[in-house]
Amino acid sequence: MPGDVVTMDKIVALCKRRGFVFPSSEIYGGLGSTYDYGHYGVLLKQNVKGEWWRAMVQDRDDIVALDSAILQHPKVWEASGHLAGFTDPLVDCRTCTQRFRADHLGDLQCPRKPSKPPGQGPDCDLTDARDFNLMFETHVGPVKESASVAYLRPETAQGIFINFKNVLSFARKKPPFGIAQVGKSFRNEITPGNFVFRTREFEQMEMEFFVPPGEAQQWFEYWQQARYDWYVELGIRPDHLVLRAHEADELSHYSSGTSDIEYRFPIGWSELEGVANRGDFDLKAHAEHSGEKLEYFDQATGERYVPHVIEPAAGADRAALAFLVDAYDEEEVAGEQRTVLRLHPRLAPVKAAVLPLVRKDGQPEIAREIVAALRPILAVEYDEGGSIGKRYRRQDEIGTPWGITVDHQTLEDRTVTLRDRDSLAQERLAIDELPGVLARRLAAPWRSPKLGAA
């Protein structure tokens, strides 16, 4: 297998070319660092979220789902500490009028002299750093006054804490148990960038796991490992994934311990997901600000306590980007270059493409019949446009693991060829065997071919 050929530019180009992700508002010149997901991008991100829901809720009986509102009472953000402390240090340049994160200056470029960081160009004139709150402010109702101020949520987690009591009263759970949520969050990042890695509008996949205080450390360790394993099971190469414990001076105000799962992106090792031990910070803060008791009473033992919280917090866009980067490959086949996304079949936007060799002789009709038979069990696409080689290339670039070709022989014996995206092996199978064979292969454990032979 060739070495790593992937760059962020190649990922951006492939995403545009194959309709995964487009720059947003493009016909109006774009709006910095916002993106729209096209057909295959939607399907890929949907599969990432689907696998997260499967691992977090469907495969367990100690976690329940929630979908809280994006707009919440402003007191939520007072209690959580976001109003006072969710800030980044900001500097302005009086010359070019651009704004920069004061703590990232070394990684940034002066717009007038890109070989230098901001502040070191000949004309740079930076202000002192000041705190900039990352929450997007808006107004609820028709009157813009201070009483109507609200915020777009900067994380999904708080929606879970403020529903702790509701969930406890209906879900018939006792600690340890968790509440999982997937949804949009908004942060007015000073320097977003690197494609969908850091944007101002993004989707999070967060789970708050409420535990008896004495079990917090054990569950913290459990969730670090479980979340690391989730990425590996879905094909991320283990040598591109690391668990890194935060130093004391990196910890958020609520955290008594955090480990980041970092992925080796083309921009370097960067956070993919954080797993934090939030202690009793959030439930106590919301109890204090709301006047509600947010605790657990164990009727069996007569014990009353505020559960501690372990939080695995992932980003759906960032995870999708990591899966794309890890899957991207190029190789030469019969003298021709091919680009291929070696995605785990469960993540692939399309699982099987059905391709009639020619657009006549009854082949399209049989191909359509196969599509109809497969559609109830997996995502399948019919494609009859262009040469067969071009159609394979297209499916390779969107990561379709299996190609089913209908040819002259199909009309005689109702067999087709089944092409494997990674090995390029072709086998001849009876049409009736396809649903069973593909369902079994989709459910089987998978190992990235980029790792070489086991």
Could you list the residues that contact ligand GAP (CB under 6 A)?
A: 155, 157, 187, 189, 198-199, 202, 204, 206, 271-274, 311, 313-315, 317-318
List the beta bridge partners of residue 203: 184
Name the nearest CA neighbour of 273 among 215, 232, 307, 213.
232
Name the nearest CA neighbour of 314 among 72, 8, 48.
48
Query: How many beta carbons lie within 10 A of that of residue 330, not counting itself?
Result: 12
∠ at Cα 447 (63, 343), nearest 5°? 80
Largest separation between any pair of C-alpha atoms in the chain: 79
Closest approach, Cβ 189 to ligand GAP, in A, equals: 5
Q: In what order do the strands lie in the sheet with 130-133?
A: 99-101, 87-92, 130-133
Distances (CA, A) of 196 to 17, 51, 163, 193: 16, 20, 30, 7
Nearer to ligand GAP, 194 or 339 (CB): 194
Closest approach, Cβ 273 to ligand GAP, in A, equals: 5
Nearer to ligand GAP, 259 or 410 (CB): 259
- Looking at beta carbons, which pairs linking 93-97 to residues 24 or more positions away fall under 8 Å? 93/118, 93/119, 93/124, 93/125, 93/126, 93/127, 94/125, 94/126, 94/127, 95/123, 95/124, 95/125, 96/123, 96/124
Structure tokens at 74: 């402003």
Closest approach, Cβ 166 to ligand GAP, in A, equals: 19
Nearer to ligand GAP, 80 or 405 (CB): 80
Structure tokens at 361: 């002789």
Nearer to ligand GAP, 317 or 397 (CB): 317
Closest approach, Cβ 199 to ligand GAP, in A, equals: 5
Closest approach, Cβ 216 to ligand GAP, in A, equals: 17
Residue 142 amino acid letter: P
**275, 219 contact by CB (below 8 A):** no
Nearer to ligand GAP, 182 or 340 (CB): 182
Closest approach, Cβ 134 to ligand GAP, in A, equals: 9
Structure tokens at 111: 């717009």
Nearer to ligand GAP, 181 or 400 (CB): 181
Nearer to ligand GAP, 40 or 202 (CB): 202
Query: How many beta carbons lie within 10 A of that of residue 320, not counting itself?
Result: 24
**261, 228 contact by CB (below 8 A):** yes
Nearer to ligand GAP, 202 or 296 (CB): 202
Nearer to ligand GAP, 184 or 304 (CB): 184
Name the residue with the smallest CB distance to ligand GAP: 315
CA distance 278 to 283: 10
> Burial code of 201-222, b = ≥16 C-beta within 10 A, e = fewer?
bbbbbbbbbbbbeeebeebbeb
Closest approach, Cβ 103 to ligand GAP, in A, equals: 15
Closest approach, Cβ 392 to ligand GAP, in A, equals: 33
Closest approach, Cβ 44 to ligand GAP, in A, equals: 16
DSSP designation for 249: G
Nearer to ligand GAP, 175 or 183 (CB): 183
**Number of residues that make up the chain:** 454
CA distance 235 to 329: 14
Closest approach, Cβ 143 to ligand GAP, in A, equals: 31
Closest approach, Cβ 443 to ligand GAP, in A, equals: 28
Nearer to ligand GAP, 227 or 419 (CB): 227
CA distance 195 to 32: 10
CA distance 83 to 422: 50
